[in-house]
Every structure is written in structure tokens, then in C-alpha cells.
Structure 1
Amino acid sequence: MNSAELRKLFPILDQEINGHPLVYLDSAATSQKPVQVIEAVKRYYEYDNANVHRGVHTLGSRATDAYEGAREKLAKFINARSVKEIIFTRGTTTALNLVASSYARSVCREGDEIVITPMEHHSNLIPWQQVAKATGAELKYIPLQPDGTIDLADVEKTVTERTKIVSVMYVSNVLGTVNPVKEIAAIARRNGAVMVVDGAQSTPHMKIDVQDLDCDFYALSGHKMCAPTGIGALYGKKELLENMEPVEFGGEMIDHVDLYESTWKELPWKFEGGTPIIAGAVGLGAAIDFLQDIGLDEIDRHEKQLTAYAMERMSTIDDIVIYGPRNERAGLVTFNLGDVHPHDVATVLDTEGIAVRAGHHCCQPLMRWLQVTATARASFYLYNTEDDVDRLVNALLKTKEYFGHEFG
């Protein structure tokens, strides 16, 4: 199935914006949803809607089967050893905060180190700032190369025997850098540290094998991989999760409650207090089926080809600055057009029916490293085509003409 055929499976793409066919180039923020996912959520609400793990009636049993079935699909999708290692969350942010609040605060002490990079999304930066403040641990940064990549020699220098946690995004949502997380995890392990991977931008686009990566924790969001918003997951090695305390307390996560003491359920349910995101999990399961039917290798191949085409076409525009590595990058291009503010660029593109992102992308320290206040970003997914890139380039040329006084 080619991209044009795939596009027909996404109802939202069949519309005009400001008199032009929609070109959606903001999938790094959130992907669009195929009809298979929309129908799965609709079917759940129409036929199976009930709470899970509670009732013995038929609807409750069907809802529970659908919810736990999604967990099984996700465990296989990322090659976890057990469904007990999959904790459903609201998304990557919640998953990373769970690790920071439950695990890191219990193991970090004054004199310990937490190692991250300057390219991290705020959701993989601020939680570690808070852990450092609360525990006295030192927050350290692996330096970036001029093209926004990581040199493993710098990792070796930064991670020491005092390091307790290394947390790195697999794919940069700004630079498109694909970080060598497997090699970083090996360095962390040699120093006795735990490896955390922010997989928000990697899981939708490439095959993930958490056992091969040998990471200790892996966080992901469903809404970036064709699933509904509000559903994500934390993978954690069972031996670590078993020794962690919940951070939310209430119904469903308990085993026994007395007036003054309580005990928790076994994994994974001790971390899923209250009514879970059942419909979101159902949609996530359908999205996993959808992505596997297409093939993650095929998605990766298509995006690399499309990104190379975009880099080639966009590089012909005078006064454009493209950030990040030129080769071996993920499916996005972050750029600035002369002195035109990225918000103005995005606004003009919107008049042409083209949706891109503009701003600091929740990466303010990285913006300062790039010596800019903001950038524009075009991000691609399985439903984008070379025609979308051509539309973008033509619209950027119009933008440049419109703001001609800003150039030269």
C-alpha cells in the first residue's frame, strides 16, 4: 500500500484548509488516526463500555479482555519479557515522571549524579531537575557535537561511578538526531547506572526491542503512533518495578486495605490506580495492529526517503537554515527562514493549507544551544508524500516573497 492509498485511511486528511487540500506536517506533535482506530474506539463505546477488573457481568469481562489484550499487544510490540513490565499511563510525560518520582527519589542521594543531554524535551528534563533539588544529586549533561549528535567518547567522560540514572531521548523532536541509546545503555550499565529512554519520537517510526536496547525503563505515547490521545505506557524491568512504590493511590491498585495500613496489587496494576484509560488502550491496541500490518521497517524506509527528499528540496531555498545532522536523521526537518519569525512562517503556510509546528518545541535549553528563540518544524509520517514536500517548498518560497523586506 503506497502513501496515497494510506492517506485515504485517515478521514481528517480529506479536507481543505483555507481553500487548499490539507498537508499535515506536524506528526511529531501528534499523528492522525486511521479509520481502524476510530472504529475500534467507537465499537468499544457502543458495545463493550464498562469498567475493568471489577464486574463479573459480560460487558465488564469484554472490557477487561480488550484492555488487557492491548497490554499484551504492546508488550509484544516492544519485545518486553512480560505484560507485567507494561504500565499504562497518560503518555510519555506521565511515564517519565513515574520513574523520577517513584524510582529516582528513592535511590538518589547527595553526591550522586543524573545524566541527560541538552536536547531533551522538557518532560525528560524538568522531572530530573526536581529529583536533583529534592535529593541533592547533581544533574549533568552530555555535550552535543556541532551537528546536534552525541559522541560516545563524551558519554564515557560524563557517566561515572557516581551516576545513578542516565536518561536520553531516542530521537530528538527538534534535531531529528537518532541517539545511540543501546551503546549509551551499555556505558550506563558498566558504571552501575540505570538507563531511561524517552521513546516518544522513536516508537511510531522504527522497530523497538527493549531487550536488545537493554534499557531499564522506556516511555512512550500512543497519540504519536496513530492511537488516541491520553494513553501511553512505561516499560520497566520487572525487578525494578517490583521494588518501586506507587505514586497514585486509590481504587484498583490495592490488595488489602485496613484503617491504618494497605498493601498493593502485583504488577502491573499497583501503578494503575482508579479507572484506567480503557478506550485509549483499545485504540492503542488497534493502532499497533495497524502499524504492524504496514510494517515498521516499511514506515522507517518511507520516512527516510521522504526526509532525504525534503532536505534536498528545502536546501535549495536561499536564506533557509536547517538544524540537526544532514544524514541518519529521523523524519522531520526543523528550520528557520531568514529573519522571519517561525510563527509568521507557520501562519503563512497555514493559509496554504500546510500545518507545521512553530515555537521552542518544549526544548528551551536546546533553542539556546542553537542560539535561536524558536524554529519551524515539518515532521513526516507514513501518510505523507513527495507532493506534500513540494507543496511545502512552494509555500516557503511564497513566504519568502511575502516577507521580502526581511531578506538581504
Structure 2
Amino acid sequence: MAVYRLAVIIQSSSDNDENTLLVRQTPPPKLPEEEYSNYVDSDLWDLPSAPLNPLPHGSRSSLAIDCADACTDRLNLGAFDVDSALDQEYPPGVTLVPLRSRTQPPFRTTNLVVIAPNNVTDGCEDSSFAAYGDALLMDPGCRSDCHTKLMEIVAALPRKLVVFVTHHHFDHVDGLSIVQKCNPDATLLAHENTMRRIGKDDWSRSHIPISGGEVICIGGQRLEVISALGHTDGHMALLHISTQSLIVGDHCVGQGSAVLDINSGGNMKDYFQTTYNFLELSPHVLIPMHGRVNLWPKRMLCGYLKHRRDRESSILQAIENGAHTLFDILAKSYADVDKKLWIPASSNVRLHVDFLAHQDKLPKEFSMEKFKASCRLDFLSRWVWAYLKGGVISKASKLMTCKLLTAIAVVGFASFYSVKCKSST
């Protein structure tokens, strides 16, 4: 009997449906620079498949299958159990649940990663594993209105649960307290720098510190902890070894590029090194915590490198052309970017300047001391003025601007008071 393979593409009703985490993706254009030519993605031969079992005589599939009747003479798809066949996951063994979170636009959700193998095997209680369990939960960072959903997910998982946190931002840990309440015996894995920033209200029990290189075992499946410093100084990633699926936290995002957290040890040098380390791992797929799964991981990572190199060049050119303050550098190197995005972008500019200094690329006349002095009140006041001059302001933008002006006034008063106190002592 002949055996045929049927390729099925499931199309979302909306191209912008952020809850559709796996979609058909055309290869991104190749980058012209020779530096990236050696990084080539592999073909995805491991996409999930399943047999189509016939339904009882007279029954038809409940799914509306486009063109099913058009190929009746060859294969009547309506007569098969397509519903069960489509109950697949990719990467195999990894489930993503997008939950509303306090994240930043353009995203509205954080992907809760759940690894719970159906066929749990023995062999995990090896002393060489940093941790083991029957299921793993990664970055429970949903808002309070999704806590009921999170409770249902945790309740359905085995009691021997491992919780992995990539970093401390609230859109990744807002649900930690719920997980601890539902399963007090769960084991938490996080970097020490991350744990220092997680409040006792979020997690009050002990944890296992990780720094990269540790191997954990979940239901017989092995995962390796990957150091992913750059976004913060405690950022971690996780490699699902059997499928080479790399769960990258906030190092990569489904749209645009990540903003590094300068207040939590964000570092551009570390960010570049982590990106190169990811490339050397040769992942088959990248799983970000915001946005869709990426099926062209090496192209994506190379695109990140090129974007950062190009941005670094534009910042250096601005400096060489006489821009010596944060606002002036950003105004020249981000001239094509909406001014409302200049506040988060300013962190990356500061980190790029630090990295240029580390590489000894800055002009001799450039003063790091004067640059750092321009990164607070001077930058905020000049940005607000430029933003107000930019044109029509929405009601929400006016509210944000009023808050910023109030903050600037408070900072200015505090600075004045501090100087006055020092001069009187």
C-alpha cells in the first residue's frame, strides 16, 4: 500500500495574531558581509508529523479543510481524524503559553514555557544533574488577571516541578508567588544576580544558583543552562538538547531588537559575546519570551550582530562629528527613530559608548566624565523639549510628558538640595 506525506499549513485569521507562535517563515535575505556567510541554518527535517487515522463510517472531521472536496478523487481529508493529527507541538516536548504581562510595547504577552514529557523515563536522579524533575516551568511572568490560568497550568503539572527564571524583570517573575503557592515543593533555578533582585514576596524558599554549563533533567529529557549575559548581568538561557531548541529569554525578541538594562548590569560587550556563543551552539530554532518562534536562528542572530555593529558605527560617527552629550549622540544616530522611543534607546547608546571606550575607539578629545554627566537631567530636559516640539501630542503622551516633567523637577530639586547640603558642611 502506498504511503503519502501530507504537508499542512495552518493559517491564522489575522497576520498580526500574537498568539500564533509558529507560522510559515520565508528565509530572511542573506547578509552581504563575509563575516556572516559561514553561519547557515539547517533544513527543518524534524517538524512534527502524525498519522491520519480514518474516522468511523459516515463521520466527518469537525475542522473546515480548505480544498478537501477538491481532491476527493485522490484523498477525502474530511473522512480522517485531522483533529487529533493536528494536536502536535514544535519543538517536540516544548509548549508555549502566551500570557498577558507587564511587558513593553509592541508586545503584550510573555511566553510561559512548559516542558512536561508525556512519557517520563527514569535516570534523572544522577548526581551530575544540577536539578531534576518531571516538568519544567520557565518565566512565569503573567499579570494578576492571568494568575487563575497560571494556577490551572501548575495544578495540571507533576508535583516534582522545576522552575527556571531567565532574569528578574517583572514580566518574567510576576507569577512566581503563584507557582510557589500552588506547589511549595517546586525547585527554583536562577542566577545569583537575578535572585538578589527578586523580592521575598515573589519567592521565599530556597533556590539552586546557576551560572551556565549546568545540565538539568526533566522527565528523562536533558537541558543545558547557557550563560546569556548582556540584557542583564544575570540573564540565562536554556538549550533543549534533543531538538537543539534554544530558549533565549530576552536576548532576542520576536520583533525588533532587545533593549539592554543598564541599571541591572546590562553590558554591550557581554551581549556581543553571548550572540556569538549562541551561533556556535547551532540551534535549530530560537524561542524568545516575547513574540514568535524563529525558524531561521542563525540568520536572526547574524541580523542582531549587524544591527548592533551598524548602530555602533553610527554612534562613533556622531561622536567624531562633534556630538559629546547623550542627547546629541542619540539625536544624530537615532534620527530615523520615533522620539518616544529615545528613552529606552538611550540605555543602549550609553552601553555602546562604554563598549567603544573598552575597544579604545573613542576620539582622544571625547570626555567620558562629561558624557556621563549629560546622561540624567540634561538628557531628560532636552528630550522633553524636543518631544514637545515634534508636533501634535496625544492625550496619553501628554500624561507621560507631565509625569516626566514632574520627575525632572524632583530630580532637579534633589540635586540642588544635595549640592547645597554639601556646600554647607
Question: Shorter-chain TM-score: which interval?
Answer: under 0.3
Structure number with greater CO (CA < 8 Å, separation at least 6) is 1
Could you tell me the TM-score, scaled by structure 2's length? 0.24
Could you tell me the TM-score, scaled by structure 1's length? 0.25
Query: Larger radius of gyration, structure 1 or 2?
Result: 2
